[in-house]
Structure 1
Amino acid sequence: EATEPVNTLTIPRPDDPERFFVVEEFNPPPVSVFSDDFESGQGGWTTGSDGAAGTAWDLGSPAAVGPSAAHSPANCFGTNLAADYEIDAEVWLRSPEIDLTEAAAATLQYAQFRDIEEGFDLGRVAVLDAGDHS
Structure 2
Amino acid sequence: MNERLPKAKHPPNRLACLPYGVGHDDEGVCLEVQLGPYRILLDCGLGDLSHLIDQTQTPVDAVFCSHAHRDHARGLKSLHEAFPNLPIYASQVTKHLLPLNWPQKNPPKPLIFVRGYPGKNPWNYLMI
With the shorter chain as reference, the TM-score category is under 0.3
Q: By percentage of residues, which structure has more helix?
A: 2
Bigger Rg, which one: 1
TM-score by length of 1: 0.26
Q: Which structure would you say has the larger RCO, counting Cα contacts within 8 Å and 6 or more residues apart?
A: 1
